[in-house]
Amino acid sequence: MFFNPDRSMTRLAVIFCLALLAAAPVSAQEVPVADTLATSMEGQAVPALGMLVIRDGVVVDQAVRGVRSMEGGTPVSLNDRWNLGSDGKAMTATMVARLVERGLLRWDAPLSEMLPELAADMRPEYRDVTLLELMSHRSGLPENLSDMAYFQTFFTDGQPLPEQRLAYLRRAVAEAPVGPARGEASYSNTGFILAGAIAERVTGKSFADLMKQEVFAPLGMTSATYDQTPDAGEAVGHIDGRVAIETEGNPEMLTPAGGVRMTLADWARFCVDQLAGEEGRGRLLATDTYRVLHTPQGDTVFALGWGATPQIAGRVGPVLTHAGSDGTWFAFVALFPGSGNGVLIVANAADSMGGDAAVMSAALAGIVLPVCRSERAVVQADEEATAVGVEVRIQGRAQVGCLFGVEGVDHPGAD
């Protein structure tokens, strides 16, 4: 999740994922993606929802429904960007892994060595924490800096972003730990901000430039941006029944912990590469490095920017998951590296308007049920049904086929 502690978004993410993990398996049936979105939005105030499905490493279906803004009523389209919140953590980890492969960083280097300018302020408990521990929530660091009044100053801070991050981190590493390093996992956005600052220091480049160079450009993710303010005509976040204002989200300083905005298609480009990576077909990293990213650290379910579990909602894994939100958007992803399947879901509102519930409903449909491609669901992009705010595109030849086969579903009564 993300900062906004007053809205308890990290706790919401944990509850959300645990609910999916514990959900009872159900009988398989066809659920066209457009129908899934319509059903998931029923009874909720969320303005818009989007969903994309991957099968065998290929995007087979995607759809969006609703409006960009409650104030304008313009339907969302497949070209709209969504704020992914903490689902961007896996992207940060991937960028850092590229620097490790080139020998610029080491997985086992101590924090005091990687950021010596913070050593004088750093509590001894953090000095030997490594990148693996920072990005798997095993550093002992609190979730966020406790001083919210200070946090608010970053919305108007005019310093370069790397300097803002160091100012935030200087205070963060002086705060007491919530637990011992390498012990039980404790979710920490600060850990990822540290990882981003470490990457900036060793390369002399800004985090945003590093992400473009190391991840977005190689994968063709041209819509990706860390600018937290949507342009005129773009989809916007919502909260409490209205369009959100800037200070109800998060400042750009925190973006190593999440907050990237992009289209569903570009998010899928990253996820397809993650799926291909363990099979030796990834474009960014060596096979063994993808496995490092996807392997739970210690006795936890936290990998590097991912939750990694053996099953979810009765579907046999292993499965990589994450939920993300700044309190005004909500996003969820589940990937199955063994089959090359996945589901990505986004909303332009969070818990105050049922965005989390709508995403959870769609996620259950996409994971537990077989989300199917069907000729009757095909609507070409240039024929989008703008009157009802629905757009669907199926890449490749339309055919009947299910995203998740029923053979992997544990039915009630099964051992």
pLDDT on residue 366: 80
Give the Cα separation of 363 and 344 in Å (integer): 8
pLDDT on residue 315: 81
pLDDT in tens, 38-92: 999 999 999 999 999 999 999 989 999 999 999 988 999 999 999 999 999 999 9
Q: DSSP character for 77?
A: -
Give the Cα separation of 415 and 341 in Å (integer): 24
CB count in 10 Å sphere of residue 295: 14
Residue 267 falls inside a structural domain:
yes
Query: Going along 100-216, which residue ranges are E strands?
Result: none
- Alpha helices by DSSP H, 173-206: 189-203
Q: pTM value?
A: 0.86
Residue 415 falls inside a structural domain:
no
pLDDT in tens, 381-397: 222 222 233 333 223 22
Residue 410 falls inside a structural domain:
no
Residue 256 falls inside a structural domain:
yes
Q: One-letter amino acid identity for 343?
A: V
Tell me which H or E stretch contains 321.
strand 315-324
> By residue range, what is the domain housing residue 49?
5-399
pLDDT of 340 above 50: yes
Structure-block tokens of residue 71: 């104030």
Average pLDDT, the chain: 84
pLDDT in tens, 314-331: 788 899 999 999 999 999
Residue 38 falls inside a structural domain:
yes
Contact 215, 112 (CB under 8 A): no
Structure-block tokens of residue 329: 């958007």
pLDDT on residue 373: 41
Contact 254, 85 (CB under 8 A): no
Task: Judge residue 67's burial from the number of C-beta atoms within 10 Å of its C-beta, 0-12 exposed, 13-18 middle, 19 or more buried.
Answer: middle
Radius of gyration of the chain (CA): 20
pLDDT in tens, 294-307: 999 999 999 999 99
For residue 217, give the CATH number of its domain: 3.40.710.10
pLDDT of 166 above 70: yes
pLDDT on residue 312: 84
pLDDT in tens, 171-208: 999 999 999 999 899 999 999 999 999 999 999 999 99
pLDDT on residue 408: 28
Query: Going along 148-205, which residue ranges are E strands?
Result: none
Residue 283 falls inside a structural domain:
yes
pLDDT in tens, 90-135: 999 999 999 999 999 999 999 999 999 999 999 999 999 999 999 9
**190 — alpha (psi -120 to 50), left (phi > 0) or beta?**
alpha
Number of domains in the chain: 1
Give the Cα separation of 261 and 80 in Å (integer): 9
Q: DSSP character for 212?
A: I
76 or 21, greater pLDDT: 76
Residue 412 falls inside a structural domain:
no
Structure-block tokens of residue 206: 């800004």
Residue 342 falls inside a structural domain:
yes
